[in-house]
Structure 1
């Protein structure tokens, strides 16, 4: 199959109109997909059971990264692994309506590199003491590409379905330091990198939503879910979905404070969806049902500031409660605008809970019913923008709804155009 044969029919029409002097519906939106040898993407899926220290993801690579269906009767719910955003995004790129086989026509270049999967031998395998080597072979390959050399990578982007911290190990760090050095390599300094969690300072990184298990295939399926979310009774004030067991002698932290407060109150005030030992990872029913019954979902930081649970809770219409800005407000501005956070979420500083003894439930009970309804409606309004629709979605869904993928691609193109304009890169 040639690269040109993968270009959507709409793109070919757009190119024909351009050459005929007509209006070009893809003007300023074209993307060129850089070919890579399959060892940088598809072949990596074959090693799905090679790193047992991490997990066996073989059952979850089905349906081009969506995972297997939760049950035979659904076309919208899947057992999606968030670490497989890379093949999911890759599959969606081939459905993008403004692909071009001509790199000179493109506003951006997509690199179909499965960075997270490629990092596994360096993070969990026999090469873990050589993590500074992650990406060197790709960098050498790109150095021979005329498409890469023309703008030194300023118009390139790729997806890495881990936090940026996992790829930010300094090149001069000790051998047992965590992470790989992919984003520290000079060859990738000019790239835009889409990650599930960005750091505060690097301009190259931009956070996109974690994939949830909901991937509607039709507009009707989406609207049916939104109606269910809107009508769902909410007898529980607040819910925490996460690990429910902690060492009795551990240091004070927000996670421990939440568990302590929940243990000392009635379940109608605080409920826990126990996700200890990865029980919830591929079983959306385990947490979606309690989320549908809760008014607020507590989203504390854990090992890193962000959580997939933030997006799971929101698609259930559960109002998120954040305890630090890095958990979402300073992450996902293409999908959730920072100036609107007060309209759909609650912020409680974690230090006030951990050290000040602030009772979370009292804060939430102080929010009036009308305000809660308004916030929930805003959350429901945002659901289409934080989900990744199914690969075989209907024409009406594609045309009427911009999902997380669409907004990410629009954001990438804006970001790259702005950078190239400012740098004067031809």
Structure 2
């Protein structure tokens, strides 16, 4: 009994209780300090629609993929959107303000049910120059954003250069047109994130062709701005809808299409649908004439002529005739869905939004210049252009007679046509921009155009970082 009483007395001794309390306090303090340390390195997302996870799995999955978004002054992005009437032109059939709706996808197409009711909420009248807004909206919901710049693999500059270009298009004073780009870089150069690699780890997305930002001061050109010729631009990586063939810091990414699904299931259903589409037209072309004094204009004229003179195998949708509905996404998609091949001659520039609309419809693109796709979209399209398209050299077009296109396309074996179409349909996810709030189940591997672009630019910047370190 004496021993038991002694043991009980020791357990209940005031000193023993103080020791236990002290140990508990120390444990809580250590845990709090650890949590504080972790919170300093957590992923901080900038939109309320996303959530943060501090799990080891999430941290590991973002390693090497963290992106820091610069908080630019509003005059470089949101102010441009608020002044949306200034980016509309007199010839525009729809105000550009309408195209800014729905994450930059534009107005929902009310009669999309005529294509298939399952997709009626995913079709939009998307303007081909809305990429900057679309990309920014998706970037805001990117799963690996950080406000800790030391974690960032790349830095995104959300400057709407293309929309700003359009807003200042009618200004005769080139200094006024160039001003915003210079001001943007002036602001960036003051940021500590820029100073680390002088912008080599930064990227900018532009929803216009690069030629619009390469105004040559030597030939007194009045077109465009000099944004891409500024000294600071030489370190950036530019993602554009059409790159300059002589530039090594520009990377072309797809034009926006009309279809912006929410889930992988919806994408797979669309692919299944276009696999079974009855294609009654051998080849088609949707477009308008271009001045024949240019090389592109001559090629286009020959394409139109051969389509018109075909033996009933080609459908020409003349976009010079307003009543033909070239501005109606559903008219275009119905044409492409009913065609085996879609002709893609250069227009105002080498590339065309129609290339991606035709791929979306499962129509095999036919090119007449390798810079129209193959030497442009290296991240999104196969290295071997013969896997998904047909190439007809201009020389062949000129010297092969009035029905050369029809002869070439008729001569392709049916087995090869089936293989080409299957490859085109496989490309569909990689050339579309899904909704920013797209549902992604765990372990989903399907990538859209945005995902592919992010993977490409991060890899590109990592290569530049390694080179920077070695020097």
Name the TM-score, length of structure 1 as normaliser: 0.91
Aligned length: 416
1:63 equivalent in structure 2: 102
Deviations 1:186-238 (A, max 9, x none): 12210111000001121110000000001111223212211221001111110
1:149 equivalent in structure 2: 195
d(CA) in 2 for partners of 1:213, 1:136: 34
d(CA) in 1 for partners of 2:213, 2:283: 35
1:134 Cα deviation after fit: 4.5
d(CA) in 2 for partners of 1:249, 1:337: 33
d(CA) in 2 for partners of 1:129, 1:144: 22
SS at match of 1:419: helix
Establish whether residue 39 from structure 1 lines up as the match of residue 86 from structure 2.
no
SS at match of 2:129: helix
d(CA) in 2 for partners of 1:276, 1:261: 17
Establish whether residue 310 from structure 1 lines up as the match of residue 355 from structure 2.
yes
2:394 equivalent in structure 1: 350
SS at match of 2:150: helix
User: Is this contact kept in 2: 1:8–1:95, CA < 8 A?
Assistant: no
2:129 equivalent in structure 1: 83
1:209 equivalent in structure 2: 254
d(CA) in 1 for partners of 2:308, 2:294: 17
User: Is this contact kept in 2: 1:239–1:294, CA < 8 A?
Assistant: yes
2:268 equivalent in structure 1: 223
1:122 Cα deviation after fit: 3.3
Gaps of 5+ in 1: none
User: Is this contact kept in 2: 1:233–1:293, CA < 8 A?
Assistant: yes
Give the counterpart of 1:200 among 245, 250, 272: 245
2:14 equivalent in structure 1: none
1:105 equivalent in structure 2: 151
User: Is this contact kept in 2: 1:107–1:417, CA < 8 A?
Assistant: yes
2:458 equivalent in structure 1: 413
The aligned runs of 1:6-17 (5 Å cut-off) are 6=46, 12-14=52-54, 17=56
Decide which structure has greater helix share: 2
Gaps of 5+ in 2: 1-42, 114-119
2:34 equivalent in structure 1: none
User: Is this contact kept in 2: 1:255–1:302, CA < 8 A?
Assistant: yes
1:272 equivalent in structure 2: 316
1:240 Cα deviation after fit: 0.4
Deviations 1:48-101 (A, max 9, x none): 222425643111110110111101762210010111111110010111111111
The aligned runs of 1:192-341 (5 Å cut-off) are 192-243=237-288, 245=289, 253-267=298-312, 269-276=313-320, 282-339=327-384, 341=385
User: Is this contact kept in 2: 1:78–1:213, CA < 8 A?
Assistant: yes
1:326 Cα deviation after fit: 0.3
Structure 1 segments of 4 or more deviating over 6 A?
A: 7-11, 246-252
